[in-house]
Amino acid sequence: MEVINRLKKIIEEKRITLTTLAMKSGFSRQHIARILKGETNVGIESLEMICEACGIKLSDLYTESSLSSGIKIPVIGRIPAGIPIEAVEEILDYEEITPEMARTGEYFALKVQGDSMAPQIMNGDILIIKKQDSAESGDVCVVFVNGDDATLKRLQKDENGIALIPNNPAYGIRYFTNKEIETLPIRIVGKAVEVRRSLI
């Protein structure tokens, strides 16, 4: 939040309105307001766009102390189809990632529901997810299938399509042809990069 607080202070000092920021950055007034209130996550690229709209550099927000502090991202319980991650309102908590990680893209955290990826990923675990629309074979991904809520599975690709593979053998593998990927559709939302588990 230190970085966001510095951004708010600069906006106030420059007397920049949310309307002006929205016009210059391409984000909605509502989304910018939520960012400034700390109610939604903001990736490094989005933060750069807002800084540019303010006429400053991203580095202007980082002091020596803020560089060592974590950046908060929201923990969500589900991802409804058709709703952008930044617009999901079911925020359960917040996790921190390093500024170095934040500079590599946009992230959110997902609380795992169910045991289809057990024992490597358990019910209740928190996954750090990097937002991206593509992935490689072997990656654990958040995927939309046929417009449903997102599912978490390991991706396996071949020339004819993709398989969504659970770690738990009690669940079946789902295979989709290249045509089905286009028509259903099948859409990758992000890639799991870290598992966080409570020891209690």
pLDDT digits (tens, 9 = 90+) for 78-121: 887 666 676 676 789 888 888 888 889 999 999 999 999 999 99
Q: Which of 72, 131, 153, 191 is catalytic?
A: 153
Q: Does 191 participate in catalysis according to the annotation?
A: no
- Please tell me the distance from the alpha carbon of residue 184 to that of residue 175, in angstroms, as a whole number: 12
Choose one of 43, 69, 95: the last residue of a domain. 69
- CA 53 and chain centroid, separation: 23
Tokens representing 43? 């990736």
Same domain assignment for residues 191 and 112 = yes
Check if the beta carbon of residue 10 is closer than 8 Å to that of residue 59: no
Alpha-carbon gap, residue 83 to 79, rounded angstroms: 7
Residue 79 covered by a domain? no
Residue 10 falls inside a structural domain: yes
Concatenated DSSP letters of 127-194: EEEEE-S---TT-EEEEEETTSS-EEEEEEEETTEEEEE-SSTTS--EEEEHHHHHHTTEEEEEEEEE
Whichever domain contains 13, its CATH number is 1.10.260.40
Active site residue: 46, 72, 116, 191, which one? Answer: 116
Count of structural domains within the chain: 2
Place of tokens 């990632």: 97
Cα 49 from Cα 36, distance rounded (Å): 14
With respect to residue 124, please indicate whether it lies within any of the assigned structural domains.
yes
Range of the domain at 62: 1-69
pLDDT band, very low/low/confident/very high, at 168 (cuts 50, 70, 90): very high
- Which pLDDT belongs to residue 130? 96
Q: Which domain CATH number covers 125?
A: 2.10.109.10
For 137, half-sphere exposure in the C-beta direction (CA atoms, 13 angstrom radius) is: 7
CB 72 within 8 A of CB 95: yes
* pLDDT value of position 69: 59
Q: Determine if residue 111 is left, alpha or beta; phi over 0 gives left, psi from -120 to 50 gives alpha, anything else beta.
A: beta
| pLDDT the model gives residue 123 | 92
Q: Which helix (H) or strand (E) is 49 found in, with range?
A: helix 44-54
**For this structure, is 116 an active site residue?**
yes
Confidence check: pLDDT of 64 > 50? no
> Above 80 in pLDDT, residue 74?
yes
Residues 180 and 126 placed together within one structural domain of the fold? yes
Taking the complete model, does pTM exceed 0.85, yes or no?
A: no
The average confidence (pLDDT) of the chain is: 87
Residue at a domain's end among 10, 43, 69: 69
In the chain, the N- to C-terminal Cα span, in Å, equals 27
pLDDT-derived band at 148, boundaries 50, 70, 90: confident
Decide which of 196 and 43 is more confident. 196
User: 112 and 56, same structural domain?
Assistant: no
CA distance 167 to 76: 22
